[in-house]
Structure 1
Amino acid sequence: MPSRSISRPLLAIAAAGMLAVVTACAPSPAAPEKPDASPAPVGTPSEAPVTPAPETPTAAPTCETLISPTTVDALTAEGWTVEKREFTIAGEVIADGMQCFWADFAVASDHGQLYGWAPISTERAKTAIDTLIAEGWLREDSDRGVYITVDPKFAFATDEEGYGMTYLFGDGWVTLSDTKQGLVLIEAPQQ
């Protein structure tokens, strides 16, 4: 798997994009708190995620719409282009999904970034999660869904928190990036 190598200007642009996403998702100061809201129950390792899905997409995603326009601009400014591939989990192709590998294909290098998205049924998500865990991947439940990440001991590259390649399973969708932090940049429709 390619390692990540990003210039400082690209990191700054990506960080600004992530800040915009976090800021946009944060509750407004006037938003009332819900003191009696209890946390969602944590599922067992074989349960599929329960994250509610956003609105249905109006158009099929492309590699250029899978991530934010700011990120696309930053990657193309670096001279990178994108190569679209089939979305796979443990070697199995997920129909109607895609993996987008961004890199400078004009030079021989292992530097690039991977972003992926696919629609997935609850049953298939459960099977995929169980398969990855059986292969040594690690599970982490969150309010966003179920993260399945490669054991850091076997990661080709890791983010600042030590996460390598990571899948995020939601309700009817799955995303993928070469690091967990990279998942924040994905803006694909989540059916």
Structure 2
Amino acid sequence: MTLPTLRPRALAAVAAVGLSALLLAGCGASAEPTPTETIGTDAPTQAPTDAAPVPTAGPSATAADLTCETLLSQDLLDELAAKGWTAKEAPFAAGGVTLDKGLQCTWADYAVPSGNLMIFGWAPITPDQAKAMQQGLGAKGWLRETDGDTVYITEDPTQAPTTDENGYGMTYEFGDGWVTVADVKQNLLLIQRPAS
């Protein structure tokens, strides 16, 4: 299995100007943006429209045994371990909503201060929680796209410290009863959603 190129998210508060420029130079957008909607306003905005396929559930993980390791494939875990990266767990929270049964993991080499990191998260979510989270993110200028029943809420690409090859920064994906997050939209494909 060939893994996608890992795209670290720059921490603006930590990364030096030179490091930030180097990271952003390698992560520029290659797709021409097309209009999408901004949540909470009538003004059109720009964002790519390529929708990522819905990730499949992991073979053995369930919501009850959710960990940073069960969210990712063994191949990706091996790649992260080879780079010396480990995960720090946090509650799944966004847009003023905290989901108690969810998990957000920030992967990095914490032994070396650099600003390179990856974020993966998953949580069960009710329709009311999803609506509140989407509205909260929209109030902060995040952009909304839909693909069938799936909703994507992503950072405004002009504000994102790092983007994937299609110009997407940190992105939340809302499905039927669940939500995922990754540091860039392309990395949503790496998440192994727990079985119900």
When normalised by structure 1's length, the TM-score is 0.69
Over 4 Å off, 4+ runs: 53-56
Q: Which structure's residues are more often helix, by fraction?
A: 1
Contact 2:80 / 2:86 at 8 angstroms: preserved in 1? yes
Aligned partner (choices 170, 178, 182) of residue 175 of structure 2: 170
User: In the alignment, what sits opposite 1:110?
Assistant: 115
Partner Cα separation in structure 2 for residue 180 and residue 105 of structure 1: 23
The answer to whether structure 1 residue 153 and structure 2 residue 158 are counterparts is yes
Contact 2:89 / 2:105 at 8 angstroms: preserved in 1? yes
User: Post-superposition shift, 1:60?
Assistant: 2.2
User: Post-superposition shift, 1:69?
Assistant: 1.1
Partner Cα separation in structure 2 for residue 74 and residue 185 of structure 1: 13
Q: Which structure's residues are more often strand, by fraction?
A: 2
Partner Cα separation in structure 2 for residue 147 and residue 186 of structure 1: 15
Aligned partner (choices 178, 181, 185) of residue 186 of structure 2: 181
- 1:167 aligned partner, one-letter code: Y
Task: For residue 168 of structure 2, give the secondary structure of its aligned residue in structure 1.
Answer: coil
Aligned partner (choices 118, 121, 128) of residue 123 of structure 1: 128
User: Post-superposition shift, 1:71?
Assistant: 0.7
Q: CA-atom RMSD, angstroms?
A: 2.6
Partner Cα separation in structure 2 for residue 139 and residue 120 of structure 1: 18
- 1:179 aligned partner, one-letter code: V
User: Post-superposition shift, 1:58?
Assistant: 7.0
Partner Cα separation in structure 1 for residue 186 and residue 91 of structure 2: 22
State the identity as a percent. 46
Task: For residue 144 of structure 2, give the secondary structure of its aligned residue in structure 1.
Answer: strand
User: In the alignment, what sits opposite 1:82?
Assistant: 87
Name stretches of at least 5 consecutive residues in structure 2 with no aligned partner. 6-38, 41-53
Task: For residue 153 of structure 2, give the secondary structure of its aligned residue in structure 1.
Answer: strand
Describe the superposition over 1:120-145 as per-residue Cα deviations: whole angstroms up to 9, x where unpaired.
10111011112212221111101461
Name stretches of at least 5 consecutive residues in structure 1 with no aligned partner. 1-11, 17-44
The answer to whether structure 1 residue 66 and structure 2 residue 71 are counterparts is yes
User: Post-superposition shift, 1:92?
Assistant: 3.1
Task: For residue 123 of structure 1, give the secondary structure of its aligned residue in structure 2.
Answer: helix
Task: For residue 193 of structure 2, give the secondary structure of its aligned residue in structure 1.
Answer: coil
Partner Cα separation in structure 2 for residue 82 and residue 110 of structure 1: 14
Partner Cα separation in structure 1 for residue 154 and residue 130 of structure 2: 15
- 2:174 aligned partner, one-letter code: F
Partner Cα separation in structure 2 for residue 80 and residue 131 of structure 1: 31
- 2:90 aligned partner, one-letter code: R
User: Post-superposition shift, 1:86?
Assistant: 1.3
Task: For residue 154 of structure 1, give the secondary structure of its aligned residue in structure 2.
Answer: coil
Report the structure number with the largest CA radius of gyration. Answer: 1
Partner Cα separation in structure 2 for residue 137 and residue 91 of structure 1: 13
Task: For residue 87 of structure 2, give the secondary structure of its aligned residue in structure 1.
Answer: strand
Describe the superposition over 1:159-183 as per-residue Cα deviations: whole angstroms up to 9, x where unpaired.
0000000000011110000100010
- 1:103 aligned partner, one-letter code: A
User: Post-superposition shift, 1:91?
Assistant: 4.1
Task: For residue 141 of structure 2, give the secondary structure of its aligned residue in structure 1.
Answer: coil
Aligned partner (choices 3, 7, 14) of residue 14 of structure 1: 3
Contact 2:143 / 2:156 at 8 angstroms: preserved in 1? yes
